[in-house]
Amino acid sequence: MFLALASLLLVACQAEKDPATLVPEIEEVGATCLPADIAPIKAPFAMPQLQAPKFPAREINLKDLNLDASQLVTKQIQQAIDEMSAKGGGKVIVPQGIWKSGRIHLKSNVNLHLEEGAEIHFSGDIKDYLPAVFTRCEGVEVYSMGACIYAYQQENIALTGKGKIVGPERDCEILRSEKKGGVIENLIDANSPVESRLFDNQQGQGVFLPTFVSPTDCKNVLIEGITLERTPMWNVVPVYCDGVIIRGITVRSVGIPRGDGIDIESTRNVLIEYCTLSCGDDCFTMKAGRAEDGLRVNKPTENVVVRYCLAEQGHGGITCGSETAGVIRNLYLHDCVFNGTGSGIRFKTRRNRGGGGENITYERVRMILRGDAFNWDMLGSKMYVGELAVRFPALEMTPLTPFYRNIVARDIYVESCKYFVKAKGIPESPLSGVRIENVRVDHSQRLMSLYDVDDIVLKQVEVHSPDTVVEINNGKKVKFIKTKINHEEGKKTHYELKDAQLEL
């Protein structure tokens, strides 16, 4: 009996700790802090203890091949990779220097290793990415440019080292030839055979931009230590993979449209640790396919752990969506810092995207933000989805109606933000089952705006804000437990409720 009471008191005391004392400092996270070994993985769901792939001791060092740095060395790099894979595997070393290349295909049991001072600068010419390969562009399957470093149906592969990969110049043939005309689901007939979706610009049909690094339908993948700059679109994008470790990488893509840092797409069993991302779009992102094509494929992103990472510039620190068709589930982010990002914890989807997200946990996060601490946008804008972005009238539920549910955030310290919580659910599919616990917000320009939500609990939250308005519209079972909102002297919180249930 005594031990049981003592345990309860211990839990209570732990819950009351100031979040600012629980979260990491900026200098304790990110690529500069990468340890040599991978620590055991802990998660609130069944998660395998991922191990980095091992490779035979044999090596090929490209410096022994007398490469001409003034010419493309794609052929020599690819021959070395193919030869090493055929022999059973090993390491292909890219030496110090600046090397020009077209698309590189990683092969099973090969570690492509970039020495410190080695840089691979990728071509911007379409011919250097032909023939077109199977890929997924923004959640839709196509045949196009693929990725600068690409792998398909390979096992035990790695991209490592202290070197750098650099994307093509922004004024290049590939970017000028990008297929345009609206969102991708309006460009591709969802009922067309995937093999017919060929975009290589050989008949003037344009291309879908290559991502930077994209293992596709691969197993046991390691990406470690490298720096990525000037991506054509999205940086590290595992698609349909199982068993991925991404650690100690640095991404610099500020100013690049769709310059996401890491996009986990319909991939399972993933560890991301000690990465530093500064991006032109979202930093750490979970995706699972888009609309009808994503429902057809029906592959989730699941069992993902993100830890000890630093997000700097970017639209969102950690983002789910907006491609959600296959469902994003079992995501655990802990001990991270978002320093200067737009939103901190961000969720996106749309009425026609399908799927959703569930069983998602965030713990011990420090946030210094330009935008919102917590943001859910399930409707989107008329610019992209037309009348589907209009709240009312509520629509009938269909297989394309998305959801977000069962989300926990605890031990969060927000130094500054725009909104503390801004949520736009969908009338026919409200945001549901959210717990925000033990949170301290030192300065929030605005407080809360909740639309179309159900079962939202804030517990042991303290917010400092000049704003006095908490807005709840169509909110069921909203509870504020031990929650304190501090204003300037003499001001009180004003609750604007419409079709809402709030328990204080």
Burial (Cβ within 10 Å: 0-12, 13-18, ≥19) of residue 203:
exposed
Q: How far apart are CA 470 and CA 465, in angstroms?
A: 11
6 pLDDT tier (thresholds 50, 70, 90): very low
Amino acid, res. 347: F
Q: How far apart are CA 451 and CA 432, in angstroms?
A: 11
Phi, psi at 486, each rounded to 5°:
-105, 130
CATH architecture of 282-504: 3 Solenoid (2.160)
Residue of 178, 110, 102 lying closest to 138 (CA atoms): 178
Q: Do residues 217 and 243 lie in contact, with contact meaning Cβ atoms separated by under 8 Å?
A: no
Average pLDDT of the residues in 69-89: 98
Q: How far apart are CA 223 and CA 248, in angstroms?
A: 8
Average pLDDT of the residues in 5-19: 58
Residue 425 is predicted with a pLDDT of 98
Q: Do residues 42 and 333 lie in contact, with contact meaning Cβ atoms separated by under 8 Å?
A: no
- Token pair 């990683």: residue: 106
**What mean pLDDT is reported for the chain?**
96
DSSP 389-426: GS--SPPPP-TT--EEEEEEEEEEEEEEEEEEEEEE-B
Total H helices, total E strands in the chain? 5, 33
- For the cut 80, the answer to whether the pLDDT of residue 14 exceeds it is no
* Helix H or strand E encompassing 105: strand 104-105
Residue of 423, 405, 397, 413 lying closest to 475 (CA atoms): 423
The count of residues in the chain is: 504
497 pLDDT tier (thresholds 50, 70, 90): very high
Instruction: Look at residue 384 and give its three-state secondary structure.
Output: helix
Q: How far apart are CA 359 and CA 45, in angstroms?
A: 9
Average pLDDT of the residues in 435-453: 99
Q: Do residues 353 and 322 lie in contact, with contact meaning Cβ atoms separated by under 8 Å?
A: yes
pLDDT digits (tens, 9 = 90+) for 24-54: 999 999 999 999 999 999 999 999 999 999 9
Residue 321 is predicted with a pLDDT of 98
Task: Report if pTM > 0.85.
Answer: yes
Q: Do residues 217 and 246 lie in contact, with contact meaning Cβ atoms separated by under 8 Å?
A: no
The DSSP code for 72 is B
Burial (Cβ within 10 Å: 0-12, 13-18, ≥19) of residue 304:
buried
Residue 12 is predicted with a pLDDT of 47
pLDDT digits (tens, 9 = 90+) for 291-328: 999 999 999 999 999 999 999 999 999 999 999 999 99
Average pLDDT of the residues in 218-243: 99
pLDDT digits (tens, 9 = 90+) for 141-196: 999 999 999 999 999 999 999 999 999 999 999 999 999 988 898 899 999 999 99
Residue 352 is predicted with a pLDDT of 94
Q: How far apart are CA 90 and CA 58, in angstroms?
A: 5
- For the cut 80, the answer to whether the pLDDT of residue 3 exceeds it is no
Q: How far apart are CA 444 and CA 403, in angstroms?
A: 27
In the chain, pLDDT over 70 holds for what percent of residues? 97
Residue 61 is predicted with a pLDDT of 98
Q: Do residues 458 and 438 lie in contact, with contact meaning Cβ atoms separated by under 8 Å?
A: no
Average pLDDT of the residues in 343-347: 99
Residue 15 is predicted with a pLDDT of 52
Average pLDDT of the residues in 214-218: 99
pLDDT digits (tens, 9 = 90+) for 81-110: 999 999 999 999 999 999 999 999 999 999
Average pLDDT of the residues in 331-359: 98
- For the cut 70, the answer to whether the pLDDT of residue 356 exceeds it is yes
DSSP 305-334: EEES-EE-SSSEEEEE-S--TT-EEEEEEE
Average pLDDT of the residues in 57-64: 97
Average pLDDT of the residues in 481-487: 96
Amino acid, res. 384: Y
431 pLDDT tier (thresholds 50, 70, 90): very high
Residues in CB range of 496: below 8 A, 6 or more apart? 469, 470, 471, 472
pLDDT digits (tens, 9 = 90+) for 380-429: 999 889 999 999 999 999 999 999 999 999 999 999 999 999 999 999 99
- For the cut 50, the answer to whether the pLDDT of residue 10 exceeds it is no
